[in-house]
Homo-oligomer: A and B are copies of this chain.
Amino acid sequence: MYLTQFLHRVVQQYPDRPLTICGDRIRTGRQVADRVARLAGAFQGIGVEAGDRVGILALNSDRYHEWFYASWWTGAIAHPVNTRWSPAEMAYALNDSGTGVLLVDDAFAPLAAELRERAPGVHTLVYCGDGTAPDGMLDYEQLVTGFEPVPDVRRGGDTVGLLLYTGGTTGTPKGVMLTHRGLLTGMMSSALYSSSARPGGVSLVTAPLFHFGAVAGWQAQNLVGGTLVFLPTFTPDGVLRAVRDHGVTSVTLVPVMVQMVCNHPDFASYDLSGVDRVIYGGAGSPESLLRQAMKAFPNARFTQGFGQTESGVLTALTHEEHVAGGELIRSGGRTTPAVEIAVVDPEDRPLPVGEVGEIVTRGDHVMAGYWGKPELTAETMRGGWLHTGDGGYLDENGYLFVVDRLKDMIITGGENVYSAEVENALSAHPSVASCAVIGVPDEHWGERVHAVIVLRPGTTATAEELRAHTKTLIAGYKAPRTVEFVDEMPLSPVGKILKRELRDARKG
């Protein structure tokens, strides 16, 4: 198995159907395959060989899609650079990986000079924006038209195809090496288990493609065959227009994105009934938010995936489990077919059901290792299991509960209060657009239930009103003792609310 296989399959099966849509540009599978073969020719022309790392620093686009395939077409390793990082972090990843060719678009061309200085190994910059290539850069479109198509080297199996750097915010970034077979096995397994893609679907790619979750959603559609619609970056407006203009059937989002779409002022004027798949990452989303989203996308199957870059998707919560609701919504779901997980103690002994330990996994879906870090790789993969570093437990039906999310428990006056439960209650109030419930230090109670609230535009609500509302739904001791209104939430690169940041800023 090799990743370009799916482009060949498109040419065999849907050659003249639109494959990529990006703004006004619509290209068929045949056109994309020809452009990829030419770009691969250009890569070879500028010295790229099998195993080399080819980077991109850009917002999502159809050219991003072509760049992935052209890298694989030459047998190279695709290295998408995290666009939210600082130039120092970007340079670290470029230097560490030995990336020689780097594509930049209009948003990042201004960083080129600085990156070139900090990462002298980058010998060729390719401008893949919509204007004129700046001095010292090759022009993407000129490469595509100027080079002849070359044959696909069809490298695959256990060779590395993708290098994704993680951990930029905590410690040194690490390059996660993912193989062709590993990526394909993991993605087939999760798509099979959760029916998260269907042949002929039109998939919206709006989460950033340097993130595993976005790659997984994009590849799931490529696997079964369909059309990809690229948005440079997420906006609620962009999602709504794309659904209307391009007949989008499948979206991969994080919960807060779903919420932002639902809260868009013109939301009601868009018809979302054609969307049949909503895939999101982020276990432990408030159930009320999910209910709202399921109402907004009335014909969509909802799938939640949980995993990490090192392993891809490990577990999934299926649509039927969403419909059932309740306690399971707080879980990450269950393993997909090809995936094995266990929860182990610090001596790597498997723990019984219900006991918290480290989540470990093994199988073809697991990374080949960390780039240039054999010792860290051996330590992480000890005993043949990938140690995720995430804590969690399994219930008696194999549902995985991740403790980082359970840490979202507040102990107030000796009582345990789960943030999710309070957030559920608050979200049910018509004026609440989004909310986060955290524990803050309190002299009297030890911890105090504290709510941070973003109100819906044009609505009002007082702290007391929200407290009273909450008490109609859950026990009084769980109601927030203090309520704080903010204009916006601090969000992670993929749009999750950064509770840690909220907590840190409110540490007495």
Interface residues of A (CB under 8 A from B): 1, 5-6, 8-9, 12-15, 181, 184-185, 188-189, 191-193, 195, 197-200, 223-225, 318, 320, 334-335, 337-338, 340, 363-364, 394, 396-398
Known contacts A1-B185, A12-B335, then 15 further A-B pairs from the complex at CB < 8 Å, ordered by chain A residue: A1-B364, A5-B338, A9-B398, A13-B335, A13-B398, A14-B397, A188-B189, A192-B197, A192-B223, A192-B224, A195-B195, A195-B198, A199-B318, A200-B320, A225-B337
Please name all residues of chain B whose beta carbon is closer than 8 Å to the beta carbon of A12 when the two chains form the complex: 334-335, 394, 398
- A and B contact pairs by CB, cutoff 8 A, 14 listed: A1-B185, A5-B340, A5-B363, A6-B337, A9-B340, A9-B398, A13-B397, A14-B397, A191-B192, A192-B223, A192-B224, A193-B199, A223-B337, A225-B337
Once the chains bind, are B338 and A1 in contact (CB under 8 Å)? yes
Please name all residues of chain B whose beta carbon is closer than 8 Å to the beta carbon of A394 when the two chains form the complex: 12
Measured CA separation A40–B224 after assembly (Å): 38
Please name all residues of chain B whose beta carbon is closer than 8 Å to the beta carbon of A337 when the two chains form the complex: 6, 9, 188, 223-225
Minimal beta-carbon separation of A21 from chain B (angstroms): 20
* A181-B364, A340-B5, A340-B8 known; A13-B334 Cβ under 8 A: yes
Measured CA separation A318–B13 after assembly (Å): 14
Question: A17: nearest residue on chain B (CB-CB)?
Answer: B397
Minimal beta-carbon separation of A320 from chain B (angstroms): 8
* A192-B192, A199-B193 known; A15-B363 Cβ under 8 A: no
Please name all residues of chain B whose beta carbon is closer than 8 Å to the beta carbon of A363 when the two chains form the complex: 1, 5
Minimal beta-carbon separation of A61 from chain B (angstroms): 24
Please name all residues of chain B whose beta carbon is closer than 8 Å to the beta carbon of A397 when the two chains form the complex: 13-15
Question: A336: nearest residue on chain B (CB-CB)?
Answer: B224
A-B interface, 7 closest residue pairs, ranked by CB to CB distance from nearest:
A13-B398, A12-B398, A192-B192, A223-B337, A188-B188, A13-B334, A188-B192
Please name all residues of chain B whose beta carbon is closer than 8 Å to the beta carbon of A193 when the two chains form the complex: 199, 224
Once the chains bind, are B338 and A188 in contact (CB under 8 Å)? yes
Please name all residues of chain B whose beta carbon is closer than 8 Å to the beta carbon of A223 when the two chains form the complex: 192, 337
Minimal beta-carbon separation of A37 from chain B (angstroms): 16
Please name all residues of chain B whose beta carbon is closer than 8 Å to the beta carbon of A197 when the two chains form the complex: 192
Question: A15: nearest residue on chain B (CB-CB)?
Answer: B396
Please name all residues of chain B whose beta carbon is closer than 8 Å to the beta carbon of A396 when the two chains form the complex: 15
Please name all residues of chain B whose beta carbon is closer than 8 Å to the beta carbon of A198 when the two chains form the complex: 195
Please name all residues of chain B whose beta carbon is closer than 8 Å to the beta carbon of A185 when the two chains form the complex: 1, 185, 188
Please name all residues of chain B whose beta carbon is closer than 8 Å to the beta carbon of A334 when the two chains form the complex: 12-13
Please name all residues of chain B whose beta carbon is closer than 8 Å to the beta carbon of A5 when the two chains form the complex: 338, 340, 363
Most chain-B Cβ atoms within 10 A of its Cβ — which of A189, A199, A200, A335?
Answer: A199
